[in-house]
Structure 1
Amino acid sequence: MAEQKQTVSTDDGLILAPADEKQNAVASELEGSGISSPAEYEDLPDPDIGKTDAERAALDKALLWKIDLWLIPWLSLLYLLSFLDRTNIGNAKVANLEKSIGMVGRDYNNALTIFFISYAGAEPLTNILLKHWSPRYFFTGIIILWGIIMTLMGTIENQAGLLACRWFLGLAEAGLFPGVNYYLSCWYRRQELGFRAALFFSAAAMAGSFGGLLAAAISKMDGIGGYEGWRWIFILEGLATVFVGCFCYWMVFDFPDTARFLTADEKLRAMRRLRADNQTRATEEKISRRYVFQAVKDWKTWVYAVQYMGVLCPLYSFSLFLPTILVGMGYKGNRAQLMSVPPYAAAAAMTIFIGWFADRTKWRGYSNMAVSLMGCVGFAMLLGSSTPGVQYVGTFLGAMGIYPCVPNTLTWASNNVEGSLKRGVMVGIVVGWGNMNGVVSSNIYMPQDKPRYLTGHGIVFAYMFTCLFGGTMVMHFMLKRENRLRKSGQRDHWIEGKNEQEIRDLGDVRPDFIYTT
């Protein structure tokens, strides 16, 4: 007969504990450590022995604030530059890129497509490289590299040069987004990750907003040094990336147990709080094919991949073609650039709010459902109305329905995987599969469809409703069902006959691992 279990509620989730251990688990939580199995932490001494609950809580809050200040602003800046550099081609198009280098027909769409082929193809392996080289070396290297490529893009003379630059830009940028999501999951507990990921990803929306303003200003440099305005967009934004990349080595730190900005006691606190959240230390797992196989065979990987393709196709369609869509509404030149700013600003605010809300409520599935439906309404307005005012409101709802789902979906996936390497591989697969749909995004807004672009809007609507909303519902209810089975003891037979290490190696398959829904 399966051992009877009771559920212990904590601020970070649910822990299943045998009934006769319930009081010990609760007592441990009240002590501020969150540890329900002290034996698992014998190699991590408690630096706060003898301190009161209030003192422990204050130290934990101070530690979290210190980590936030060191990590989030800098990583957000890196992603702002990344998203700016991959999407500024849309601003360059409005500034006469096509006419200048003789682009015709599908040439612009091909330049968008080739980026996503190299970008998505490289992503599943990037987290393994990050683990091998360490975050400091990895992030510094790729940022300087893509900054140089972006700068050189301002000197191209033909379509072949543009295609080559976009291909190598995709390879260089591939490691940042999955790398940072994996990296953050090695620093924060599961119910702290969503808000930080949202702050980080809000930089993408701010990049769209900032990019419109910046492009409008830079394009006025037309003729300076004998260069057209669109060339200066690439050159100046590329040089800014190289400049920031030169400081990256000193600003990016490795994992909590090797971070130079933490004291010895703070490192112990950081590691203990992660281990209490069923997370393995990032430096204690050795690279192995086993984690690749675990991630590939996990059904959650592929349902999250479906969800993520449902958000990435709309994301890139929106960010690459918003200036073009606005031109179709009747806005021209710099006015079209400036009109792209408010929807992105609204998206950034909504992204941060959903990150905070989902962390507080743990309703990641419900949040995705509500927000994705908002986005569907926005694209339905773009499909159903020819009135510029209605269409412009639709761009607000579309942006607010797309951007929050990116960090929320990836945080949800990270929440439900134990083991830093399996989590890294899973995030790489999910992000890589999602970004393959950038190829679709690049080819659904065609010149012959202007000014309404009904084909593009219709495909984006289908992706959001079927893959994002539908995939979220499937994942939500499957995880709720699995949690019910685990809490009732119907999965306890999975650990029968196994020793302690074998049980620990099961990771999130362990019956006491409760999923975030």
Structure 2
Amino acid sequence: MDELEKPNPSVSEKESGSVLLPDETPLYNAHVDVSGVDEKKLIRKVDIALIPWLSLLYLLSFLDRSSIGNAKLYNLEGDLGMSDNQYLISLTVFFVVYAVFEVPSNIFLKWLRPSIWLSGLMLVWGIIMTAQGLVHNSGGLITARCFLGMLEAGLYPGVSYLLSCWYKRSEFGSRMAIFFSATTAAGAFGGLLAAAISSMDGIGGKPGWAWIFILEGLATIVAAVASFWIIQDFPDTAKFLSEAERTVIIRRLQADDQFSAAGEEFRWKYIRQSLLDWKTYVGMFIQCSSVMPHYTFLLFLPSIISQLGFKATAANLLTVPVYVFACIVTCVVGYLSDRCRRRGIFIIGFFCLGAAGYIILILSKSAALSYFAVYLATCGIFPIVANNTAWVSNNVEGAYKRSVSIGMVVGFANLNGIVSSNVYRQKDEPRYVLGHGLVLMYIGIGIISSTLYLFLARRENAKRERGERDEVIEGHSGGDEKNGTFVSVDEAKREKGDEWSGYRYML
């Protein structure tokens, strides 16, 4: 911890009293003694405070949105008098509003405290989820799904951004993988839960599928109320840390080229930077190439397995080991990509494994082979969603720019849930060639996009190594005026963010 605590004796001080490092970057809270802080224990403390609860919330989120796939097997459509098209519309409207509200939600999250914003969203969507079990027709279900999408929109991009404000770039992928693996737990637990709750059919005059919605909605309400006290805010205001611990967290982030870790005032410039950044748009295509298959998997896996010859409860139960496998793969890939400090090669490799799985699903006429292919298909879905979110976050500097970039990438990807909701049609049973073929097409786009991202990021790093992006710093020789002129290195970092010449993209 000595490096964090002791400023270089040769540096000077500004009138504000901030100690300046040799590169003219102020040392955060220079007056604070951090010699007594054990960094490894501190990170474990942060992990325990953040990851378990946020993962639980995401598990509840995915149970709430994907349980309609389980409920369908218990005569949801018949009881509500819905056609197959009306059922697909109820899936589609969720993703439309979900995608629209993700970027605004992330901006509000930055303005407000996460503990207030995220908890409030969850409380209202828990109420909507409970009400979804009380509907009597297709119109009621479609309306409930619409509001559910609007309110759930803030959780994934919001938590992704919140976690990125706590961890170094080489630590974020594994934490994101653990958080995202809650979706696999939701898939596994959802199948078990649906099978168990279906036995309540007829209690209170409600069918089994209605009790799935009601009980899961009530669980969300309880978690939302608790979240007002459990969800942690940003590092500079965290109440569960001492001042010395907060100082260590922020200094280690700044040392990792996260210059805005100590705080940043909103400027429209940061929004424009995100909108003009090539990484935002290439990241969108990578993310949608995994998210579209992800949603088809969650929404239709029970139906796909039921077409292999298994009845409703057996089909739900057979989804459990698939999701357990997906959870393991997601966490392992997140850990390895952090250790290797590489994300692109893992994303490309696992996209290829997923493609092999869907090719087998299209060609197979054997139930056993198709069930094996389902496991292979998970490799091209679950690890990539979390790893690409980490990749996008790792390569964007600036608190507001990162919040907008994550919101745009995740929002655009979730808009493809519209496609996911409409490609597995009843008339295509039992092999679902159209659905599997479109998923395979998306995976192909993902392979191309991630390869492009890797190439462009490596090329940009090389240009910075050669000095082609160097700025002019007043009082120092070198640099090119076309890259900007700044009073100090610190000003260049804060004004340019990840475009600063000393910033290196994670590959």
Q: TM-score, normalised by structure 2?
A: 0.92
Look up the equivalent residue of 2:452 and give its one-letter code: V
Q: Does the residue aligned with 1:196 lie in a helix, a strand or coil?
A: helix
Instruction: Give the corresponding residue for 1:472.
Output: 450
Displacement of 1:104: 1.1
Equivalence map 1:277-426=2 (5 Å): 277-281=256-260, 284-426=263-405
Counterpart selection for 1:69 from 48, 54, 66? 48
Counterpart in 1 of 2:412? 433
Distance 1:151 1:282 in 2: 39
* Closer/same/farther in 2, CA of residues 95 and 64 from structure 1, 3 Å limit: same
Matches of 1:262 and 1:382, distance apart in 2: 50
Q: Distance in 1 between matches of 2:197 and 2:101?
A: 32
Displacement of 1:48 after TM fit? 4.6
Letter in 2 for 1:39: E
5 Å-filtered alignment, 1:127-206, equals 127-206=106-185
Quickly say closer, same or farther: Cα 1:38–1:266, change in 2 above 3 A.
Answer: farther
Aligned partner of 1:477: which letter? F
State which drifts further: 326-335 or 419-428.
326-335
Residue 81 (1) aligns with residue 60 (2): yes
| In 2: Cα distance, 1:465 partner to 1:295 partner | 26
Q: Is the 8 A contact 2:254 2:261 kept in 1?
A: no
SS of residue paired to 1:340: helix
Q: CA deviation at 1:41?
A: 2.8
Q: CA deviation at 1:498?
A: 2.2
Is the contact between residue 182 and residue 423 of structure 1 (CA under 8 Å) also seen in structure 2?
yes
CA distance in 2, matches of 1:71, 1:497: 40
Matches for 1:269-284 after TM superposition, within 5 Å: 269-281=248-260, 284=263
Q: Deviations over 1:325-366 (max 9, x none)?
A: 111111111001101111111000000000000000012000
Q: Answer whether contact 2:253 2:261 (CA < 8 A) is retained.
A: no
Confirm or deny that 1:498 pairs with 2:482.
Answer: no
SS at match of 1:114: helix
C-alpha separation in 2, matches of 1:36 and 1:173: 43
Please list the CA deviations of residues 50-84 of structure 1 after superposition, one character each: whole Å capped at 9, or x if unmatched.
x5xxx77xx11011010000000000000000011
Q: Distance in 2 between matches of 1:444 and 1:315?
A: 13
Please say if residues 186 and 281 of structure 1, whose CA atoms lie closer than 8 Å, have aligned partners that are also in contact: no
Q: Which amino acid counterpart does residue 463 of structure 2 have in structure 1? A: L
Q: How far 1:463 sits from its partner (Å)?
A: 0.2
The match for 1:60 is 39
Mark the CA change 1:70 to 1:37 in structure 2 (over 3 Å): closer, same or farther.
farther
Equivalent residue, structure 2, for 1:109: 88
Q: Does the 8 Å contact 2:250/2:262 carry over to 1?
A: no
- Displacement of 1:497 after TM fit? 2.8
Work out the CA distance in 1 between the residues paired with 2:485 and 2:387. Answer: 37
- Mean Cα deviation higher: 183-192 or 281-290: 281-290
Give the letter aligned to residue 503 of structure 1. A
1:235-254 maps to which residues of 2 (within 5 A)? 235-254=214-233
Deviations 1:479-515 (A, max 9, x none): 1111111111122125453222541210100111000
CA contact 1:88–1:233 (8 Å) conserved in 2: yes
Residues 101, 153 of structure 2: 8 Å contact kept: yes
Structure 2 CA distance for partners of 1:40 and 1:230, relative to 1, 3 Å = same
Deviation at 1:449, TM superposition (A): 0.4
Q: Does 1:488 align with 2:488?
A: no
Match of 1:9 in 2: none
User: What secondary structure is seen at the aligned counterpart in 2 of 1:139?
Assistant: helix
Of 236-245 and 324-333, the range deviating more from structure 2: 324-333
Describe the shift of the 1:313–1:496 C-alpha distance in structure 2 as closer, same or farther (beyond 3 A): closer
Name the counterpart of 1:41: 26
Cα deviation code 1:86-142 (max 9, x no counterpart): 000000001110111011131111110000001001111111010112101001100
Over residues 380-402 of structure 1, what are the superposed CA-to-partner deviations in whole Å (9 max), with x where a residue is unaligned? 11101011111101111111320
Question: Between Structure 1 and Structure 2, how many residues are aligned?
Answer: 477
> Aligned residues: percent identity?
44
Secondary structure of the residue aligned to 1:40 is coil
Letter of the 1:498 partner, please give it. F
Change (3 A) 1:179 1:413: same
SS of residue paired to 2:412: helix
Give the unaligned 5+ runs of structure 1. Answer: 1-23, 25-34
- Checking the alignment, whether the CA contact within 8 Å between 1:312 and 1:434 is kept in structure 2 is yes
Aligned twin of 1:513: 503
Q: Contact conserved, 2:28 with 2:262, CA < 8 A, in 1?
A: no
CA distance in 2, matches of 1:254, 1:156: 36
Structure 1: distance between partners of 2:465 and 2:411: 34
Cα 1:283–1:118 change in 2 (3 A) is farther
Give the residue type in structure 1 aligned to 2:25.
E
> CA separation in 2, counterparts of 1:243 and 1:290?
40
Please tell me the residue identity of whatever aligns with 1:117.
V
Distance 1:65 1:315 in 2: 30
AA in 2 matched with 1:180: V
Whole-angstrom CA distance in 2 between matches of 1:219 and 1:471:
42
| 1:92 partnered with 2:77 | no
For residue 42 of structure 1, report the CA deviation from its aligned partner. 3.3
Whole-angstrom distance in 1 between the partners of 2:448 and 2:327: 24
Q: Per-residue displacement from partner, 1:20-51 (whole Å, max 9, x unpaired)?
A: xxxx9xxxxxxxxxx975631334226456x5
Residue 257 of structure 1 contacts residue 267 of structure 1 at CA under 8 Å; is this kept in 2?
yes
Q: Which amino acid aligns with 2:246?
A: K
Residues 281 and 489 (structure 1), Cα distance of their counterparts in 2 relative to 1, 3 Å cut: closer
CA–CA separation in structure 1 for the residues paired with 2:31 and 2:168: 18
> Which residue in 1 is equivalent to 2:17?
none
Aligned AA for 1:382? L
1:288: Cα distance to partner? 2.3
Coordinate RMSD, CA, aligned: 1.5
Query: CA separation in 1, counterparts of 2:132 and 2:315?
Result: 23
